[in-house]
Chains A and B, each alone.
Chain A
Amino acid sequence: MAPDPPTPEKRDTGSLQKVLEVWVDSDSKVRLLVFFRQNPGVIETLEGLAQRLAIPVEQLTQEVRAHVEIGLLHSRDMAGGKTVYFFDRERWQELSDLLTAAIEKRGSGAAT
């Protein structure tokens, strides 16, 4: 028998856990996130992002991949084998809400 699907609460907690793991992992991941938060309309190649953020392409490849996995960045294949990346504003809102709720929950737990 297939296992029961996770409840919304479990799914949210799992999602948040993964997001936090990504963000606390490295300084350049945080820089990437801050860059897209400040510039949500940027649509750029890996090389272009590396240039803008002054992070080596090899290093940035992993950071971008991690953000694609948590759904904050999306990729789009272009002509000539080029791939561009862009920010998902809705996913950011979703994650922000989750984070806010988790902080509030923890705060209210500490108070009681």
Chain B
Amino acid sequence: MIATKATPSREATGVQGLDAMLGGGVMPGDATLVAGSPGTGKTTLGLHFIAAGVAAKEPGVFVTFEYLPQQIYRDAAAKGFPLREWDDAGKVRVICTTPDVLLARSADGDSILDEAVRSIGARRVVIDSVVHFEFHHPDTRTLRNDMAGLLNHLRLLNVTTLLTHEVPQIIGPTVSISSWGLEFLVDNLILLRYVELEGAMQKAINVLKFRGGDHDRAYRALRTTSRGLVVEAGFTGVENISTGSARRELVDRVKDLI
């Protein structure tokens, strides 16, 4: 595991390069949304966040609505995170359920999420992914209210939260995070996306919103390695990244011609 160190009063995401973009990490108690196209590394970023918590003696709850814990353990192990071991040791709790079951009895502070947080003294929570709340809500107004309630509840539990959310577009000039304003409810927003650069697909990361002060606003290359995610240098000499079809700057292309 590649350790990254948070500055005081920040909590490391555990992703090499991302914490530098955030000036040391996220603010304790904040809710961070990681939105991205399929396969861009949202769940892996969540695992990094949990692993960084274990390294900092901050237990974490990982909630999965889609994958069974055994799949999450396997994927985590492939990145060098012994999640099952941590789960057995009470450093982490991996929960697999549905949103309605997870949050039932929240008003009494007696939900399954409350219990999980209490049982290991969790300081971090990952919810993978928010899209499943959409399946369980009849309308966007109720969904937004319930999500705002959940985020407030998590703040009161004194945990730092990372939520993942699926962006349906694989590539293109438009990126829609949600139709119900999820991006306005969270403190921080990190976008993971694909960028086509001269015929090859690359992953890019961008911090769109951050309440912790100044941050790196550049698109940076994101690479998946056997040890998880690594944020690399920015795309220098490249323009139009946000359209999904980046190209080298005009001056460089002209230089090639002459």
Contacts and interface: CB of A to CB of B under 8 A. Distances in A.
A42 interface: yes
Contacts of A43: 95-97, 101-102, 112
B96 A42 contact: yes
A84 B70 contact: no
A78 B104 contact: yes
Nearest to A76: B112
Interface in B81-115: 87-88, 93-98, 100-102, 104, 112
A30 B112 CA distance: 26
B3 interface: no
A9 to B, nearest CB: 28
B68 interface: yes
Interface string A29-60: 00000000011111111001000100000000
B52 to A, nearest CB: 20
Nearest to A93: B88
Contacts of B93: 41
A84 B101 CA distance: 8
Contacts of B104: 78-79
Contacts of B95: 41, 43
B97 A84 contact: yes
Nearest to A77: B104
Contacts of A44: 96-97, 101
Contacts of A45: 101
Nearest to A38: B70
B69 interface: yes
Contacts of B94: 41
Interface residues of B, number: 16
Nearest to B62: A41
A40 B87 CA distance: 9
Contact of A78 (B68, B88, B101): B101
Contacts of B102: 43
Interface in B146-183: none
A39 B29 CA distance: 29
Interface in B121-166: none
Contacts of A39: 68-70, 96
Nearest to B97: A43
Interface of B: 68-70, 87-88, 93-98, 100-102, 104, 112
23 contacts: A38-B68, A38-B69, A38-B70, A39-B68, A39-B69, A39-B96, A40-B87, A41-B69, A42-B68, A42-B97, A43-B95, A43-B96, A43-B97, A43-B102, A43-B112, A44-B96, A44-B101, A48-B98, A76-B112, A78-B104, A79-B100, A84-B97, A89-B88
Given A42-B69, A44-B97, A76-B112, 15 more contacts: A38-B70, A39-B68, A39-B69, A40-B87, A41-B69, A42-B96, A43-B95, A43-B96, A44-B96, A44-B101, A45-B101, A52-B68, A78-B100, A79-B104, A84-B97
